[in-house]
Each structure stands twice: as C-alpha cells, then as structure tokens.
Amino acid sequence: MDSQKLQQFFDRVSQVIGEDNVSLHASSGGLEGPSGSTAYGDPFASATNRDPSGAVRPKNVEEVREIVRLANRFDIALWTVSRGKNLGYGGSAPVVKGTVVLDLHRMNTIVEINEEYGYAVVEPGVSFFDLYEEIQRRGLNLWPSVPAIGWGSVLGNTTDRGFGYTPLGNHAEAQCGMEVVLPNGELLRTGMGAMEGSELFALYKGGFGPSVDGLFFQSNLGIVTKVGIQMIPAPEAYATVEVEVPQESDLVALVGILSDLMRRSVILNSPSIANIFRIALTSGVAGVQARLQECMKPNSYVPYDVLEEIRVEQKWGFWRAYFSLYSQVEMLPGLLQATRRAFDALPGATMNWREFSGRPGESITTALIKEEEIPHSGIPTLAPLAILNSRQGPGSHVDYSPLFPPSGRELYEWYLKAKQRTVDAKFDFFADFHVFPRYVIGIELIIYTAEEAERVDQLMRHVIHDAAEMGYTAYRTHLDYMDEVASHFNFNGGALRRFTTKLKDILDPKGILSPGKSGIWPSNKSGLHSKPRM
C-alpha cells in the first residue's frame, strides 16, 4: 500500500470524523478483547500475519459514505467490522495484511424495538448485551436470540450467518430489511425498505422483484449499516431440557431424533450437542478439573480412557444435548410428554429439565430464569471465555464448522475422522454441534496456545481437506481458510465464484471493500489469493 496515499487518506478522514476516531497504527482504538487489548487484528495466535495498517471509526451513515468515497479516491482498501468480536474466525483482522479497518462500533443506535410485532432495527455497533438490556429497561415481553458470547454485534453476527438459541436463532433467517452503503458510497435499502416511508422494513423480507439481501451476507459487496432482526414474544411456559446418551455411537440416533422433533415443530430452537470432553471441561467439578489439568497443556491432550473414567464416575453421558421448549401454558405438558416418548426409544438415554409453567396470559421473565449455561432464553453471557486459558497458558481458539444432512450418520462418520486427526495433532476435540430441521453444523472448537499456532493450522487444513473429500464443507470459516473453502463450491467449473467475481468487478472494481472476504476478489486482484497448504 502506498504510504503517502495512506497518510493522505487518514488526514482527510480525520477532517470528517475527528482525529480521535482515527488510528494510524493497529495497536489501539478497538474495543477491548479477551486479553484486555484494544489492538486491531486477530486476538488469537495465527500462523499468518494479517495485521491491519490502522483503523477509522465513523459514527453515522453519512460518515461511512464519505470514508468509502475517500477510500476510492486514494485507493485504500477497507476491512469492515461491526465490533470486531468474530472470535475464532479472525477477530478484526483483514484477509490482506495492511488493509485499513473500518470499525463501526460507534454506530450503536437501537433505531427501533417493536414489542407488538417482535422486531428490532439496529446499527452495527449494537451488541447482544445492548439489545437485551434495552428490552429489560423498557420492560418488554421479548426474548432476543443471542449467541454463546454476547459482546458481539447483532448485525455483524447476522450478516455472517451466525446463530443463537431461541426459536429465531438462525439469525440470517430472522433478518428482515437492510440498509447498505455500496462500494461507490451510494445508500441502498432492501426489501420493503426500498419504499420511502414503508412501515414493513422489518416485517416483510421479500419486497418487490429480485431479493438482494443475500448478496450482503458473508460478502464484500457493500457495508450493512442497519438491519431488522425479528424476535420471539416471551412465552407463557418454558422448559430447558438436557438429554444424555451413554455411548459414542449414540450420536447418530440422538441427532436423528432431535431433527425429527424439530421437523414436527415439537422442538422449536436449535439443540446444541456437547461431547464428554466439553461436558467435563465446563462442569465446574473441582476433582474433574484437576484431572483434566494434568493433561491439558501445550503439546498434550486428555486421553479418552481418562474421559471415560470421568464419565462413569460422574454418571454423565458421552453426549449431551441442550434445547428448550416454548409454548402457551396448556401446551407445555404435552410437549414434554412427546419429547420424553421420543427419547424413550433410545436405550440408555436420560432426560432432565427445568420447567417454568407460568400462568395463562402472563409472560415468563428472564429475571425468573436467570443466566443459563446455554442462553435459550436470550440472556447474554461472557462465561464461555473462561475456557480459553485451559491449556495452562494464554489461550486461543479456532472453529471448523462443516454442514451435514440431519440423520446423524454423516456427522458421525466425519466426527470419527476429525477426532482422530485432532488426537494425532495432540489437541482435544471440543464438540459444539448444532441441530436444525434439515441440516447439522458440526462445529469443532480447537483450544490452543501461541506456541501451537503452526500445528493447529496444519490440523485445520487436514480437517477441511478431509471433509471436502467426503463431500462436505463449512458454512463460515477463519480468514486463513476463506479461499480454500470457497474453492469447494466448484459446480460447473466454479460458476458461483465466477459470478461473484463479476459482481465484484461491477460494484467494486478497485477492490476497496474487504478484499478476499469469503474468497471474493475483483479479477484484477486474483494474485492475492492465498494458497492452500498441507
């Protein structure tokens, strides 16, 4: 990047947004990360240096538009982040080293919350904590969906196809209405928002004619500055449920039953599934933690015979599924009975639940439920951050998130191979599988230390390659693997990638916005593609 043009860009942007909102270096200015640092970049150790050259922090849409115009004028690439909390996928680091971070965390207005229709309209800087706390402050009977860690952006998580844990936990599907700054600085609204004065921005996604919202998910074709997100009304009755099964091979039946109950609308939210390692690590049982710590250190892992001893002693299952039931008062007993009947067919399965039966016409309050291990009631938390340093040193994590059909058979076949790869690389397999009616996300979360960054990179490349050979790939991925995962979408010689390249050439020929995001490049920047390593 031309240093003179970069300085000119920073000078001009400072006149627009103020010097205090421009970072000439990546060392400060971002929101505080898990280690307390405010530096931009990936807060976790990585095998690749992708440090940005600085950052700019606009406060409103007009400032974003002017920054984009100036970036085009001075040929400065921008990497857009909402709050920079995309942990395990790259944080606020760009694909291309030296790119300037366009940090939108100061755009933190909750534009609207509508209790009657169950939606909110938010800017990029609004966190899940912000939205939840505003709902509580107003005393609204709404349960927002939140992910495992609540300090991220509602908008950012949604546009990266993230998910939470209420019945509207698939945030990309719960999204309705977008406002977007295009690569030339023009402002666009999608769906019904394209009509001046429409009251259906967050109510009807389709609009009229082609629906273009999908172009701005996981993409670099525009900067999303507002999004509508739909939420569930607080239910009258609620039960949070755990189902455990004793055998490793029981995963197949467990997933099959869960997905069938979802297709029948008995279970409405996305169940998550933990394996015995995750159950033990997050248990809080002192004796169990001590035994894990004997093995959890760099270049080591917890042997499965140790995990089996712990499982038997504690009377835990090998797998544990977490989900909830949401209903009117009269319906909850029937939902619980139907769920129990389904799992009675699986030998060795046990089902436990906490029930909040409520009263007809009254909503369950989250104050009654209090914070949960899995936020099925929409109460955000930072508790999962505690596992990061479990390998006896400052820790990092990276996620691999492949998709499978919902029978459980395909997931189990992949899991056995990935588990062996993980053990061979001397890491622990942490399962965070998520079941949906017609697919499963088989997330493997790998915890590692800085000295293990190269080895974890090789493990990631192996599990990505193995899954692709089986016909599966990820729904999102870390920056280091975006080009590789994009190459898996190879129907008709990669027609999809050629199409997105054409769109990039038309909308953003200079490659100003987030070059390389999701493997999307303008044709004149093809030489920047990262090459897979094995």
Give dist(CA 68, CA 311) in Å, integer.
Answer: 55
CATH number 3.40.50.970 is the correct assignment for the domain at 3-103: no
Spell out a b/e string for 103-131, using b for 16 or more CB atoms within 10 Å of the CB, else e.
Answer: bbbbbbbbeebbbeebbbbbbbbbbbbbb
Ranges of each domain in the chain: 3-103, 110-233, 236-478, 489-528
Query: Which helix or strand (DSSP H or E) is residue 156 part of?
Result: helix 154-159
- Residue 254's identity, in one-letter code, is L
- Please give the CATH architecture assigned to the domain spanning 489-528: Orthogonal Bundle (1.10)
Backbone phi, psi, residue 410, to 5°: -70, -40
110-233 belongs to CATH 1.20.58.220: no
Write down the residue that tokens 């996300």 correspond to.
441
Residue 161 tokens read as 């196809």
106 with 58: CB under 8 angstroms? yes
CA distances, 69 to each of 56, 76, 501 (Å)? 14, 10, 21
Instruction: Provide the residue-wise pLDDT of the chain in tens; the chain has 534 residues.
Output: 789 999 999 999 999 999 999 999 999 999 998 888 999 999 998 888 899 999 999 999 999 999 999 999 999 999 999 999 999 999 999 999 999 999 999 999 999 999 999 999 999 999 999 999 999 999 999 999 999 999 999 999 999 999 999 999 999 999 999 999 999 999 999 999 999 999 999 999 999 999 999 999 999 999 999 999 999 999 999 999 999 999 999 999 999 999 999 999 999 999 999 999 999 999 999 999 999 999 999 999 999 999 999 999 999 999 999 999 999 999 999 999 999 999 999 999 999 999 998 899 999 999 899 889 999 999 999 999 999 999 988 899 999 999 999 999 999 999 999 999 999 999 999 999 999 999 999 999 999 999 999 999 999 999 999 999 999 999 999 999 999 999 999 999 999 999 999 999 999 999 999 999 999 999 987 644 444 333
Domain 236-478 fold: Vanillyl-alcohol Oxidase; Chain A, domain 3 (3.40.462)
**What residues are annotated to the active site?**
89, 475-476
3-state SS of 289-358 is: HHHHHHHCCCCCCCCHHHHHHHHHHHCCCCEEEEEEEEECCCCHHHHHHHHHHHHHCCCCCEEEEEEECC
Please tell me the predicted confidence (pLDDT) of residue 526: 61
Strands 223-230 and 237-245: unpaired
Q: If you write DSSP's letter for every residue of 435-451 in order, what string do you get?
A: E-SS-EEEEEEEEEEGG
Specify whether the backbone of 67 is left (phi greater than 0), alpha (psi in -120 to 50) or beta. Answer: alpha
- pTM, entire model: 0.95
